[in-house]
Amino acid sequence: MITLEDNINILPGVGPKRLDALHEIGIFTIEDLVNYFPFRYQDLGEKLPSETLDGEKATFKGIVSTPAVVTHFGKRSQTRFGLMVEHENIRVSFFNQPWVANNIDVGQEVAVYGTYDAAKAALTGIKMISMASNELDPIYPASKQISAKTIRHLIELAWSDVRGTVGSLVPKSLRQKYRLLDRNTQIENMHFPTDMDQAKLARRSIAFEEFFIFQMRLQLLKLADKNFHGEGIRYDAQALRQFELGLPFALTSAQQKVIAEILQDQKRPIHMNRLLQGDVGSGKTVVAAIALYAVVTAGMQATMMAPTEILAQQHAVNLATMFEKAGVNIRIELLTSGMKVAVRRQLLEDLSDGTIDILVGTHALLQPDVMFHHLGLAVIDEQHRFGVNQRAKLRENGVNPDILAMTATPIPRTLSITAYGEMDVSIIDQLPNGRKQIQTRKIRHQQIDSAIAFLKQQLFDGAQAYVVTPLIEESEALDVQNAQAMYESLKLELPNYTIGLLHGRLTNDEKKSLMAEFKNNTIQVLVATTVIEVGVDVPNASIMLIMDADRFGLAQLHQLRGRVGRGSRQSYTILVADPKTDYGRARLDAMVETTDGFVLAQKDLELRGSGDILGTKQSGVPEFAVGDPIKDLKMMEIAQQEAIALVSNKSWDKEDDNQLLVDYLSKTMAHYRHLD
């Protein structure tokens, strides 16, 4: 007897080659196999020959009228028999399926699925349909190494042994409330539905289960946070006010609102896990600065993590300047991956004895030898660039600071409950005053001269510009070459200005000094690959020329455009492209139409089609095997409500109805600690 836990190679016919192919598509155990679901069903609906078009596929049901004859030609074979369908005799033939003959007796009723040839009144059989049976043929995602048919066959083999043994993770009370199938029936009906309604119900039940488990994890993480009795940060409110007054601008009311929410969390003796969401240029950095400073005034340390060295560098400089100008004397350091050993050692020493107040860096901060004296807050900038794991990692290192994650990822509102379900969210929904709307234009390559003329005039007026060349996935060398060529040609076109060239192959020191020169206007035009995509802040830069703009995704274009429009100058983005696809054209049009990140995100989703969650990957939205967090949003919301309701009952994990769920979660969640 086969069981769910068995390795997949227990099945007859699974040798080393098939085993590899199955592993390749994520099937290791019998349980994995029966949870490998069809992505669509082929309708094998029964028809009459008179209703069937020539060349159409259909199922004919009838009485076998002549005995099956099998003819062999070497390795090939043909099996023929007559089938009386209503009053018409159909000549059925199967190629290379001689076993079909075993079940054909004259006078017997059979159903055959095949391709109809009207002129010959013949059906080329594809498969015999069991009479009991299903009119839907499930189609499985297959690979080059293993066919959908083989997968189907293996599932049939396995299911006959394990049917009835799969436990439901969704508690019975919920299944009843929402009329969902138990796990056994779900699986059975996904693989062997008798009609489309049955398949749909199975799909709905499985999607709910996926969402519910996902939401349970989030809620348990949240609960663990709330139960974690950190210390309340006793910050110096007076000093914070002083700092605010020293800023060169007044905070927007949106900034003030989110600062209040963050400080509120920091003050309480619970663990903060908050996401700060705000479109590009909305001013998240200064909000982070206040949260960081709050911790420092309480005598503790804080850290800020950025996804690139350029950005980390920029944050370190900006923070230092901000504090200095406000007359605040604290020590801010930058930890980079390329530091000299001795320098690094000294820095880590100063960190662990508490001399450093704020440490800024990239994920290099997550190395185990980076030890704080007393860490009170970790800010994660552009958090969508880090895996969810990094958040977990910050905790695993033994420290459990408050976490403030920041993102500008224009994630559609419909997805945020999925992406950030375990975090509290603060939103900056307003740009600083005095910003002028960025004007965006699209032009063709042949119009580049007019763009350069425009650039010249703007440079003459004192503006600075970015010229972005695309990252060529296949070859870093090629994209550097591309940027290089642009750089050379601009040097000729704009002899009166200094042009800089920034790309991924430069050392950190080279990048650092280029950015510094651009910031202080020694360089007027910065030619760059997408290394400047996120976070870079040079308010005087007001023109962005994006070459081959159709090679970028919409989210990326929006991030890039966010590098301008940061100061009081009228800013421009010029998209240079000769798009070859409708999708490419539509992306450029969307950029011209709006600068609102949320609108763009929604548009992006529509353009991709909501079934395609490819694009959501980079925004941190997890993928589900069956459920679609966009199409099934309502269900996700219900799953969230129910998960919240369940864990709010203190003894939920003691109740019989929830035992399978408890077992499953404690087995699969590293952070499932609250039970002990």
Query: Contact positions toward ligand ADP, by CB under 6 A?
Result: 249, 251-252, 255, 278, 280-286, 408, 432, 537, 539, 566
CB nearer Mg ion, residue 535 or residue 565: 535
Return the sign of the alpha-carbon dihedral for residues 235, 238, 244, 247: negative
CB nearer Mg ion, residue 181 or residue 319: 319
Q: Let me know: does 525 contact 501? Beta carbons within 8 Å.
A: no
Q: Let me know: does 80 contact 92? Beta carbons within 8 Å.
A: yes
Q: Which does 278 bind (CB under 5 to 8 A by kind): ligand ADP, Mg ion, none?
A: ligand ADP
**Of 146, 208, 136, nearest to 633 (Cα)?**
208
In whole angstroms, the minimum distance from the beta carbon of 559 to Mg ion comes to 10
Q: Which does 171 bind (CB under 5 to 8 A by kind): ligand ADP, Mg ion, none?
A: none
For Mg ion, the binding residues (CB under 5 A) are 535
Q: Which does 286 bind (CB under 5 to 8 A by kind): Mg ion, ligand ADP, none?
A: ligand ADP
Q: Which does 251 bind (CB under 5 to 8 A by kind): ligand ADP, Mg ion, none?
A: ligand ADP
| Structural element, H or E, at residue 428 | strand 424-428
In whole angstroms, the minimum distance from the beta carbon of 321 to ligand ADP comes to 10
CA distance 444 to 580: 12
CB nearer Mg ion, residue 201 or residue 502: 502
In whole angstroms, the minimum distance from the beta carbon of 277 to ligand ADP comes to 10
CB nearer Mg ion, residue 348 or residue 380: 380
Residue type, position 40, single letter: R
Return the sign of the alpha-carbon dihedral for residues 93, 94, 98, 100: negative
In whole angstroms, the minimum distance from the beta carbon of 535 to Mg ion comes to 4
Q: Which does 384 bind (CB under 5 to 8 A by kind): Mg ion, ligand ADP, none?
A: none
CA distance 471 to 212: 39
CB nearer Mg ion, residue 125 or residue 535: 535
**Of 535, 540, 562, nearest to 311 (Cα)?**
535
CB nearer ligand ADP, residue 135 or residue 381: 381
CB nearer ligand ADP, residue 188 or residue 537: 537
How many of the other CB atoms lie within 10 Å of CB of 52?
A: 18
In whole angstroms, the minimum distance from the beta carbon of 253 to ligand ADP comes to 10
CB nearer ligand ADP, residue 276 or residue 588: 276
Q: Let me know: does 605 contact 617? Beta carbons within 8 Å.
A: no
In whole angstroms, the minimum distance from the beta carbon of 297 to ligand ADP comes to 21
Q: Which does 604 bind (CB under 5 to 8 A by kind): Mg ion, ligand ADP, none?
A: none
- Residue nearest ligand ADP, CB atom distance: 283
Q: Which does 281 bind (CB under 5 to 8 A by kind): ligand ADP, Mg ion, none?
A: ligand ADP
In whole angstroms, the minimum distance from the beta carbon of 443 to Mg ion comes to 29
**Of 505, 503, 511, 557, nearest to 534 (Cα)?**
557
- Residue nearest Mg ion, CB atom distance: 535
Q: Which does 193 bind (CB under 5 to 8 A by kind): Mg ion, ligand ADP, none?
A: none
In whole angstroms, the minimum distance from the beta carbon of 564 to ligand ADP comes to 11
Residue type, position 207, single letter: A
CA distance 321 to 338: 23
Return the sign of the alpha-carbon dihedral for residues 341, 343, 346, 348: negative
In whole angstroms, the minimum distance from the beta carbon of 153 to ligand ADP comes to 54
Burial pattern 527-545, b for ≥16 Cβ within 10 A else e, equals bbbbbbbbbbbbebbbbbb
Q: What are the DSSP E strand ranges found in 22-173? A: 40-43, 57-73, 76-85, 88-95, 109-117, 122-129, 136-139
Q: Which does 252 bind (CB under 5 to 8 A by kind): Mg ion, ligand ADP, none?
A: ligand ADP
CB nearer ligand ADP, residue 285 or residue 362: 285
With 0-12 / 13-18 / 19 or more C-beta atoms within 10 angstroms meaning exposed / middle / buried, residue 148 is middle
